[in-house]
Amino acid sequence: MKEKLATRVRQLKPSATLAINAKAKALKAQGIDIINLSAGEPDFDTPEHIKEAAIKAIREGFTRYTPVAGIPELREAIATQIQKDYGLSYTPEEVVVSCGAKQALFNLAQALFEEGDEVLVLAPYWVSYPPIVELAGARPVIVPSEKENLFEPELSALERAITPKTKGLILNSPSNPTGQLYSQNFLKGVAELAKQHGFFIISDDIYDKLRFDGRGPENILTVAPELREQTIMVNGVSKTYAMTGWRIGWAVGPKDIIAAVSRIQGQSTSNATSIAQKAALEALCGPQDCIVEMREAFKRRATLLYQKLKEIPGLDLPKPQGTFYAFVDFSAYYGRQAPGGTTLEDSLTMCDYLLEEAKVATVPGIAFGDDRCLRISFANADEEIEKGVSRIGEALKKLA
Ligand code: PMP
Ligand code: GLU
């Protein structure tokens, strides 16, 4: 028999974030008292008025194929939203609606990158960026950063990573997994490099409404609007409106790139779900107070988690400035022994230990390109966060 699986997929790892969240949910369903601090989704329910819009769509029979790139009114609403949030003008033809921001990113990578290309990925990075780049045949080039610099890479290191093969760079601010924002200075520096070397920028703005400093969304185009022809913005309703399961995201950028993404979509998944598109339309055009409520809750929990973690000797982290993630350095405990005799030597063994001993689920930093840290999600109730952190503290005390 011939080799069963294509080379492309033999190397492909499952998404660590999805896998761990699923494991934590399964253990909980078995009755084990797990505190799940691994979740990459809001713990809130989708707001009622959004659900009602979907129910209405079903009742009215809005259940057929839609145009591949999305229903015109949703593409229009997204363009309006970009104008409101970023002060940038786009036409509906410069918007494509996909099955989640993840699919928008995947299709974009297919449209832009190929064999021989290099794509700059800033570590710590969201788990799926390197595989998405690799599945397009290109090579992710990882640029590291330090917690002391709030996980912002040195511009000089970024510049050194650029070669004639550099075709793109992926930005995500506020960032999953660090919860940090890139500074305006950094974004300006990146913009200069993009201009000089002509590479494309994918701006993953999925957490743009979840920043805690009271400022509106900012990205590379707000500091350098002249990069319009080489920047594509990605966003969606998952995080902003607690709609992860509805699978609606989008890409906004130059018309020819968006048309290419739509062609790929037309030959793979076709349109995003018709009903979910109607729900997303209501999310964008209906009342917006749900965002404020959720953001205030995340902001309060960020402080709670930060303060509790800082009470544990040896743990170190910058305070989250957005999202619902903290990225915590546990490496002071590496080399120590668990009661069973296992030496905890990296983020994977530390995560396993915390799940076994403390019954707390977290995500190993290695999945995000930094083995010193674990990602701790605060998309959970205050009491769960407090209980989870104190259990982590107790488990760490048991290490020899
Ligand atoms: N980008 C980042 C940084 C994320 O954390 C997520 C969440 N999974 C996504 C993109 C994709 O979001 P979705 O596909 O649910 O729109
Ligand atoms: N973005 C979330 C996370 O990082 C959801 C899981 C995923 O899509 O990877 O946990």
Q: What is the pLDDT of residues 247-281, one digit of tens each?
A: 999 999 999 999 999 999 999 999 999 999 999 99
User: Can you tell me whether residue 397 is helix, strand or coil?
Assistant: helix
State the DSSP code for 147: G
Q: Is residue 41 assigned to a domain?
A: yes
Report the atom number in ligand 1 closest to the C-alpha of 244: 15
Cβ–Cβ < 8 Å for 346, 6 = no
8 A C-beta contact, residue 258 and residue 222:
no
Round to whole Å and give the CA distance between 84 and 217. 10
Quote the tokens at residue 78.
Answer: 């997204």
For residue range 125-141, list pLDDT tens digits in order. 999 999 999 999 999 99
* pLDDT band, very low/low/confident/very high, at 23 (cuts 50, 70, 90): confident
**Rounded distance from Cα 238 to ligand 1 centre (Å):** 7
Q: Which of 27-36, 84-93, 102-111, 113-122 has the lowest mean pLDDT?
A: 27-36
Q: Report yes or no on 172 lying in a domain.
A: yes
Residue 135 and residue 142: Cα distance in Å, rounded?
Answer: 16
Q: Which ligand is nearest to the CA of 323?
A: 1
101 alpha carbon, closest ligand: 1
Q: 2 lies in a domain?
A: no
Domain boundary among 236, 253, 285: 285
* Separation of CA 378 and ligand 1 centre (Å): 16
pLDDT single digits (tens) 293-348: 999 999 999 999 999 999 999 999 999 999 999 999 999 999 999 998 999 999 99
Mutate to test the pocket of ligand 2, among 20, 102, 128 (most ligand atoms within 8 A of CB): 128
Q: How far is the C-alpha of 318 from the C-alpha of 181, rounded, in Å?
A: 11
Confidence of residue 282 (pLDDT cuts 50, 70, 90): very high
Answer yes or no: is 169 within a domain: yes
Instruction: Find tokens 């989704």 and name the residue.
Output: 41
Which pair of structure tokens corresponds to residue 286?
A: 């209906």
Same domain (yes/no): 295, 276: no
**How many A from CA of 18 to the centre of ligand 2?**
6
Q: Quick check: 379 pLDDT over 90?
A: yes
Give the three-class secondary structure for 262.
helix
- Mean pLDDT (whole number) for 90-102: 98
3-state secondary structure of 60: coil
One domain for residues 294 and 266:
no
Instruction: Please determine, for residue 386, whether its predicted confidence score (pLDDT) is greater than 90.
Output: yes
**How far, in Å, is the centroid of ligand 1 from the Cα of 301?**
21
User: 324: exposed, middle or buried (C-beta count within 10 Å: 0-12, 13-18, 19+)?
Assistant: buried
Nearest alpha carbon to residue 81 among 238, 211, 174, 208? 208
User: What share of the chain in percent tops pLDDT 70?
Assistant: 100
Q: Token pair for residue 33?
A: 């008292």
DSSP lists the bridge partners of residue 200 as 168
Residue numbers of the domain that contains 346? 7-45+290-397
Ligand 2, atom 8, lies closest to the CA of: 18
Is the pLDDT reported for residue 21 higher than 90? no
- Which tokens sit at 367? 């999945």
Q: Compute, in angstroms, the gap from residue 102 CA to the centroid of ligand 1.
A: 6
Angle at 43 between CA 216 and CA 379, to 5 degrees: 65
The torsion defined by the Cα of 267, 207, 11 and 353, in degrees rounded to 10, comes to -150
Q: Which residues contact 332 (CB under 8 A, 6 or more apart)?
A: 314, 315, 316
- 273 Cα–ligand 1 center, Å: 17
Band (pLDDT 50/70/90 cuts) for residue 17 is confident
Ligand 2 first shell, C-beta below 6 A: 15, 17-18, 40-41, 102, 126-128, 176
Ligand found nearest the CA of 175: 1
Indicate whether 218 belongs to any domain.
yes
Contact 82, 88 (CB under 8 A): yes
User: For 44, which DSSP code?
Assistant: S
Query: Distance between CA 353 and CA 355 in Å, rounded?
Result: 5
Are 321 and 278 within one domain?
no
243 has pLDDT over 90: yes
Same domain? 110 vs 190: yes
365 and 245 co-located in one domain: no
On whether residue 226 sits in a domain, the answer given is yes
Band of residue 13 on the pLDDT scale cut at 50, 70, 90: confident
Name which residue sits closest to atom 4 of ligand 2, judged by CA: 40
Same domain assignment for residues 249 and 112: yes
Burial of 310 (0-12, 13-18, 19+ CB in 10 A): middle
Confidence at residue 18, expressed as pLDDT on a 0 to 100 scale: 85
How many Å apart are CA 374 and CA 17, to the nearest integer? 12
The residue nearest atom 2 of ligand 2, judged by CA position, is: 40
Ligand 2 atom index nearest CA of 39 = 10
Vertex 206 angle, CA 204 and 210, to 5°: 130
Boundary residue ending a domain (285, 311, 330): 285
Measure the CA–CA gap between 64 and 69, rounded to whole angstroms.
Answer: 14
100 part of a folded domain: yes
Of 105, 107, 152, nearest in space to 129 by CA: 105
pLDDT of residue 278: 98
Co-location of 297 and 276 in the same domain: no
On the question of pLDDT at 36 being above 90, the answer is yes
* 101 and 134 both lie in a single domain: yes
Percent of the chain with pLDDT over 90: 95
Q: Ligand 1 atom closest to Cα of 176?
A: 3
> Which range, of 5-14, 70-79, 98-107, 245-254, averages the lowest pLDDT?
5-14
| 279 and 310 together in one domain | no
Residues whose beta carbon lies within 6 Å of some atom of ligand 1: 40, 100-102, 126, 172, 176, 204, 206, 236, 238, 244, 249
Per the CB < 8 A criterion, the answer to whether 332 and 344 are in contact is no
On the question of pLDDT at 394 being above 90, the answer is yes
Question: β-pairing, 363-364 with 336-337?
Answer: unpaired
Strand order in the sheet with 95-98: 95-98, 249-252, 231-236, 200-204, 166-172, 118-122, 139-143
The closest ligand to the CA of 379 turns out to be: 2
Residue 291: predicted pLDDT:
96
Note the pLDDT tens digit of each residue in 314-329.
999 999 999 999 999 9
Mean pLDDT rounded to a whole number for the chain: 97
Total domains present in the chain: 2
The number of the ligand 2 atom at minimal distance from the alpha carbon of 21 is 10
105, 248: one domain: yes
pLDDT of residue 155: 98
Q: Please indicate, yes or no, whether residues 300 and 392 belong to a single structural domain of this protein.
A: yes
273 and 298 together in one domain: no
What CATH number does residue 206 fall under? 3.40.640.10
Question: What CATH code is carried by the domain that includes residue 41?
Answer: 3.90.1150.10
Q: How confident is the model at residue 5 (pLDDT cuts 50, 70, 90)?
A: very high
Domain limit, last residue, from 220, 253, 285:
285
User: From the centroid of its chain, how far is CA 112?
Assistant: 20
Instruction: Give domain status of residue 53, yes or no.
Output: no
Q: E strand or H helix at 191, and its extent?
A: helix 184-197
Q: What are the pLDDT digits (tens) for 46-61?
A: 999 999 999 999 999 9
CB count in 10 Å sphere of residue 325:
30
